[in-house]
A and B are shown apart, each in its own frame.
Chain A
Amino acid sequence: MSLFKKIAIAAVASMLALPALAQDFIAGIPRNEALIIQGPTAQNADWFNIWAPGGGSNTNGLQQLTTDTLWFINPEGGPDAWQNALAAEPPIYNDDFTEMTVKLREGIFWSDGVEFTADDLVYTVQTQIDHPGMGWSAPFSINVASMEQPDRNTVIFKLKAPNSRFHTLFTVRWNAAWIMPKHVFEKVEDPLAFNNNPPISLSAYVLHNYDKAGNWAIWKLRDDWQRTSIGMDWGQPEVKYVVYAASGNPEARVIAQRNHNLDVINDIAPEGMFSIMRDAPSTAAWLPGFPFAHPDPTLPSVLFNLQKEPFNNKDVRWALTLLIDIRAVALGSYRGAANLSALAVPPTGSAPDDYFVPMQDWLANFELDTGARTIKPYDPGLAGQLANMVRGQWPDIPTDEAQLQRMFGFGWWKQDVQAATELLQKAGFTKNGNQWLKPDGTPFEIRVQVEGDAIPTLARAGTVIAQQWSQAGIKATVDVAGPTHGQRMGTGDFETAIFWTVETWGGHPDLSFFLDSYRSDFIKPLGEIQPPRNLQRWEDPRLDEIIDKNRSLAFDSQEVTALGIDFLKLAVEEMPMIPLMAYNKFAPFDTTYWTNYPSAANPYAASGPFWSNLRYMVVSLKANPDAPK
């Protein structure tokens, strides 16, 4: 036999022998008892101190499954959006918001058997105040003057200044100030240098095992899950183990789910989602049909650097808005699976009912002075047009307008090149051939900054918008900033950028979540780091007035929504950023082993694996009776 033949036979024989080496996907845990969620690779795998900076991975289940705090807000909205967790009832403020009283639940225990009491809450706040550098040290130091503990289940916070939103420090949308176990940390010399390994749990799951290289962490249902806030309210969970597993690149994640080895994917590109929804009948999504996506309560927008000319001119900003054909942006970025927003709030959670529906008439009648005439730029039918454009590919898309609005958005601005031309002329711009010149005679050039591959949909949106501006005679180029994107926006080193500076509670109309940071006294000069949120450095006395008034209102006041509408009207008139669409997240669920995932029809919890609200999904899943044994 020739050497070549020997080598070929050996190669084939070894390939055929490989299946013999196949192992179960998870060692020692039956697959039908485990929920597998896409996780990160944690470099600090040994660290479970979530209160120390960098010292506790908040995306591998620790935050989602073992921590707890006073209140939660379901970002999907609904009548039960507000949930009392460790607190027995909502916060009680005094008249001038200088005092907040918290009544705690009784009968809640840490996983090591120690009872949770007001001591833990007071200890959490005081320890963080005493240790600058801990995650919530700064906001507690700024707000808390003193604490009183009239009994073992009540804490009264005396505040340094009136703050009607103090309770939001303990209210979870994505995260919040988690309660520390006093009996563990009080024995530690330096809470910043303590790894808290193994962590004890205040929620329904506890650490079972983890990979020191940070590729997986496994959490097990507590035997005494009833003695947790989630256990008391949500009943017995069926998921026994939750596995957060780093699942590799997007292709590997899709394949892993097709092989039923990954139940929950955090986010994939639209193409991956379409492929999985077409070919894998066991997959569920937020929407059962196109566009499948879950709209996050964040609002990708074109941010203008308002401290740079000519973006400080409202007419220029509006001109750039009217040069955009949003249908092309939706197709280019999300392949049409976008949820448009003309307003400066994401169209998700309770926002459609709180803001979008009530403001349709105002938007339709909104008039813009182009300098040559007055126009009504709003097109309420754009969602329907978008649906029609993709209907050829997805024939099941409904035709009912109200339904389409919830899927594709309520409308956007008409592309109107003539109006944009008039607005630029009003701002002193001139045209030389097809090139717009600024009032000083130099070419109008714009850099559109995008992050790049980390958020591909937004990079694509930026590219389409830059192309549209270029076609209109503006020299627009795309600037891929990679990991420096956030920092450059922070220091004002950008002209325009695709990012979000508006995030909301989702499940509550109060806009303080982002709006409080927009006050003019927080605005920094270019070169200095602007705090998160108002990266466009929008400054307006009318805006300050709205913020001040909102601060003086109770969180659940009826006036909050009216004030929110005032803000949204001002944002439309001034256009400090061009809201584009919700950040649509494609998170497919495999139903082979588990069912009852949250969906638009049953929005009982957030669906993102890294959101703390995910705990409500985990305890609500039902074992699929048809799952392989």
Chain B
Amino acid sequence: MNGYLTYVAKRFGQFIFVVVTGVTLAFLIAHFSPVDPIEQTVSLLTNFGSTDPRSVEILRQSLRELYGTDGSLLEQYLTFWGRVIRGDFGPSLSAFPTPVMTIISRALPWTVGLLTLATIISWVLGNTLGAIAGYFRNNRAMKVVGVLVMAMQPIPTYITGLTLVIVFGFLWPILPISGGAQLNLDPAMTWTYIQSVITHGTLPALTLVLVGMGGWFIAMRSLVSNIVTDDYVVYAELGGVPSRTIFSQYVARNAMLPQITGLALSLGNVFGGAVIVEFIFNYPGIGKLMVAGIYAGDYSLVLGVTTISIIAVAAAVFLIDILYPLIDPRVKLG
């Protein structure tokens, strides 16, 4: 048990190191961005209006004081860490003074819901079909499935998404192509709202599933193809063990281990958002928020999103690391 605790402590140290390094890098990159949030706000306030140059100068100075963007990089870095520890990323600079956490907390459920569901569906579908295709290598139907999935795999996400928009939004308009729910519908645990969320999420989720399934399919099929030639499988076949048992208990189960690792990592990534899909479907998620923050030079918002994403991925890796020895006894501790 001591060995396991030492192992966990070491992995936790790695987790902290990864988070601190990642967040520091994100801080530096965000602050070295050439886009100045003050100038973006000045531009917003003076665009299209008749603006006296003297007024603009005064406005700029007032905003610097109001936004608190003065101070050295080190001072801002230390302040930032103080805020991260309190779970507060300060006010958004592009939506001042709305707190960054408020903005993120509105977008996060949409992204986490969509990506978690899409990741799990594509994982289950990809692995199931991949395992069947690997085991029944000579089945014609599975060969067709293999060709289709392989053909989908290299198609860029935006092509798949736009195709779905055109097919189900225009040619056969049965699904909404924009937004997370119906207009004028307030979030509530009612069937009307849930139904609206499901219909609005169908095309984004389908895009992610179609694009994401291929990777799982290919990996699983090759894993299973290798395992079916292993001695213990051949022995089981010769021993008259039923095919279904061999497939589920001997082959798929053993092939599953690396795929579970992959699933955990993918689930960690859901906090980073799916920028392209959210953009195509105008989905109110974290990816779209991130892009808006970058364009507006809102480094508070960008840092908030990236920090959450870094912590989520690092936490997923940490969890896998500490759970793996319990699942797979071959993993050596220490």
Contact = CB atoms under 8 A, between A and B. Distances in A.
Interface in B1-59: 34-36, 39-41, 43-59
B184 A246 contact: no
Contacts of A395: none
A171 to B, nearest CB: 8
Given A4-B145, A27-B182, A215-B180, A193 B65 contact: no
A282 B291 CA distance: 35
Interface in B78-117: 92-98, 103, 106-107, 110
B177 A256 contact: yes
Given A213-B110, A216-B184, 19 more contacts: A4-B141, A21-B199, A27-B185, A43-B292, A53-B41, A53-B63, A58-B44, A137-B59, A138-B55, A139-B55, A176-B49, A209-B186, A211-B183, A252-B169, A258-B170, A259-B169, A483-B295, A483-B297, A532-B47
20 contacts: A21-B195, A23-B192, A23-B195, A27-B183, A27-B192, A41-B292, A44-B95, A44-B96, A54-B95, A133-B65, A133-B66, A176-B49, A212-B106, A249-B280, A249-B282, A252-B281, A531-B56, A531-B57, A532-B47, A532-B51
B178 interface: yes
B97 A55 contact: yes
Nearest to A134: B62
A248 B46 CA distance: 26
Contacts of A209: 184, 186
Q: Interface residues of B toward A: which range?
A: 35 or more
B9 to A, nearest CB: 41
A9 interface: no
Contacts of A215: 179-180, 282, 284
Given A490-B39, A522-B53, A248 B177 contact: yes
B331 to A, nearest CB: 34
Nearest to A241: B184
A385 interface: no
Contacts of A2: 141
A532 B177 contact: no
Nearest to B96: A54
Across the A-B interface, give the 3 residue pairs with the lowest CB-CB distance, nearest first: A248-B282, A531-B53, A174-B48
B292 to A, nearest CB: 7
B279 interface: yes
B35 A483 contact: yes
A26 to B, nearest CB: 4
Contact of A26 (B43, B183, B280): B183
Nearest to B196: A23
B165 interface: yes
B333 interface: no
A24 B41 contact: no
Contacts of B65: 132-133
A533 interface: yes
Contacts of A22: 174, 199
A407 B241 CA distance: 82
Contacts of B110: 213
B62 A19 contact: no
Interface string A27-66: 1110000000000011110110000111100100000000
A516 interface: yes
Interface in A118-150: 132-133, 135, 137-139, 141-142
A186 interface: no
A301 interface: no
A44 B297 CA distance: 16
B98 A46 contact: yes
Interface in B259-282: 279-282
Contact of A256 (B44, B47, B96, B178): B178
B199 A23 contact: yes
Contacts of A483: 35, 40, 294-297
Given A43-B92, A249-B279, A252-B282, A24 B182 contact: yes
A367 to B, nearest CB: 35
Interface in B145-195: 145, 162, 165-166, 169-170, 173-175, 177-180, 182-187, 192, 195
Given A218-B183, A245-B183, A246-B179, A19 B174 contact: yes
B67 to A, nearest CB: 9
Contacts of B165: 251-252, 255
A243 interface: yes
B288 interface: yes
Given A27-B192, A53-B45, A529-B60, A216 B183 contact: yes
Contact of B58 (A141, A212, A251, A532): A141
Interface of A: 2-4, 18-19, 21-29, 41-44, 46-47, 52-55, 58, 132-133, 135, 137-139, 141-142, 165, 168-169, 173-176, 192-193, 209, 211-216, 218, 243, 245-249, 251-252, 255-256, 258-259, 482-484, 486-488, 490, 503, 512-514, 516-517, 522, 529, 531-533
B246 interface: no
Nearest to B60: A529
Contacts of B223: none
Contacts of A58: 44
B66 A532 contact: no
B166 A255 contact: yes
A175 to B, nearest CB: 6
Given A255-B165, A256-B177, A173 B106 contact: no
A556 to B, nearest CB: 16
A295 to B, nearest CB: 15
Contacts of B47: 174, 532
B119 to A, nearest CB: 19
Contacts of B281: 248, 252
Contacts of B45: 53, 135
A246 B283 CA distance: 10
A43 B51 contact: no
Nearest to A143: B52
A120 B298 CA distance: 34
B234 to A, nearest CB: 24
B123 to A, nearest CB: 16
Given A213-B106, A215-B282, A251-B165, A142 B52 contact: yes
Most chain A beta-carbon contacts within 10 A, residue among B49, B62, B107:
B49
Contact of B92 (A18, A44, A135, A490): A44
Contacts of A214: 284
Contacts of B52: 138-139, 142, 516-517
B35 to A, nearest CB: 5
B222 interface: no
Given A23-B182, A26-B183, A213 B96 contact: no
Contacts of B294: 483
A26 B198 contact: no
A212 B44 CA distance: 21
B198 A138 contact: no
A330 to B, nearest CB: 24
B93 A54 contact: yes
B2 to A, nearest CB: 48
A173 B48 contact: yes
A127 B132 CA distance: 72
A176 B59 CA distance: 16
